[in-house]
Amino acid sequence: MAEKQPLGLYIHIPFCQKRCGYCDFNTYAGCASYLPAYINALQREIEHYSHFHSEKFFIKTIYFGGGTPSILPPDSINNLVSIIFNSFDVDKDVEFSLEANPNDLRNDYFNAIRKIGVNRISFGMQSAICSELAILDRDHSISDVEQCVTDAKAAQIENINLDLIFGIPGQTLKTLAQSVRCAVDREPDHLSIYGLYVHEGTLLAEKIDRGMLVPVENDLEAEMYAWLINILPQFGFEQYEISNWAKGTQAICRHNMLYWQYKDWLGIGAGAHSHITNQRWHNILGISAYIRRIVESTTEHLYHPAIAERTSLSCDDVIKETMMMGLRLTKKGVNIADFHKHFRMDLRDIYRKEIDALMKKNLIEIARCDGEVVLRLTKQGRLLGNQVFMAFI
């Protein structure tokens, strides 16, 4: 029998106490009554896929994302984890992540989820400035963040991430620096820092369109990102991906690395996306429709009725996405030898024109990382990442 391959397992929890004004994720407020039925549907979907994938894959990472996964009581998380362990082989060193709102939780919750196996937690801090949190419709305080981090550490959760956002309307370099300093002072293991994207149809977009808020200018947002790249190493954080910094390799998010290195993952829940070999698919968005189709399904086919769309990827598709995702990794980039092994082609032959042009602009470089030859972004290239990615797709 062939050796089992690693698989990331993503569980989507599309429930929130309220919807933040900037959020464009598949999440819903005021739907808590659906939670028991939704948990049951998640269990059924996990069991469904185990019939097709458990002989080939083992679970390397588990990631509860949302929405607000910390809305789940520990018993519900434990029930889901039991189904996962009963359905698949799970790596004894599995990374088990849970996203959380800072105002949801206290010490007893962290102790309970740590006993279940959660060893990585990601708090949506976003900012330390009250006015910026208000613009984002976040209702936690910085003291909530401080208490949650303290409690998570006391529960011996090994890897703590804080999310921050830059480019918030009204934000300045000074207030961004205050937020970063506040986050660093909490001594997290990992920082995810994203530029604000204003999605059409959100409350934030409506306020900007009506002139109630003024977006940050592009030059200032670029200056903020350049500042982050330069300052965070001084606090011991190494940038390993466009928006992610870690204190040492042990703190790197292994689940997200599966995405960036174009590996396989299985998405469970409403709106969840999956990618296995050269197939990609995603589930329908609505909670009630997802529950109904999963529970009523009698199909013995791999692709169950809750799947909204499925795509078979061509070799050309896979090459382009491998480049786009791999170049997000600021240190490892795209491994040239691995690319050749997988595709039986040299990426420097496929993209010679693009590589030459981008190297002349000092946006990419061929370098060595851990003894391997890689193609990766330069520091200047990180500031113009989208321009680089477009050249390869």
21-66, pLDDT tens digit by residue?
A: 899 899 999 999 999 999 999 999 999 999 999 999 999 999 999 9
Q: How far apart are CA 44 and CA 31, in angstroms?
A: 20
Residue 52 neighbours by CB under 8 Å, 6+ apart:
302
Over the chain, what is the mean pLDDT? Answer: 95
* Domain regions of the chain by residue span: 5-260, 315-392
Percent of the chain residues past pLDDT 70, beyond the cut = 99
10 Å Cβ neighbour count for 172? 14
pLDDT grade, residue 81 (50/70/90)?
very high
Local structure of residue 313 (DSSP, 8 states): P
104 pLDDT above the threshold of 80: no
Identify the pLDDT of residue 393: 85
296 pLDDT above the threshold of 90: no
Give how far Cα 335 sits from Cα of 246, 331, 340, Å.
21, 10, 9
Identify the pLDDT of residue 107: 83
Q: Given CA atoms 280, 286, 288, 289 in this order, what sign does their dihedral have?
A: negative
Mean pLDDT in residue range 298-307: 86
105 pLDDT above the threshold of 90: no
Contact criterion met (CB below 8 Å) for 27 and 73: no
Identify the pLDDT of residue 239: 98
Mean pLDDT in residue range 186-195: 97
Q: Given CA atoms 258, 261, 262, 263 in this order, what sign does their dihedral have?
A: negative
283 pLDDT above the threshold of 60: yes
Q: Which CATH class is domain 315-392?
A: mainly alpha
Report pLDDT digits (tens) over 228-243: 999 999 999 999 999 9
10 Å Cβ neighbour count for 344? 7
Q: How many CA atoms lie within 13 A of 328 on its CB side?
A: 17
Report pLDDT digits (tens) over 320-375: 999 999 999 999 999 999 999 999 999 999 999 999 999 999 999 999 999 999 99
Identify the pLDDT of residue 18: 87
CATH number, span 5-260? 3.20.20.70
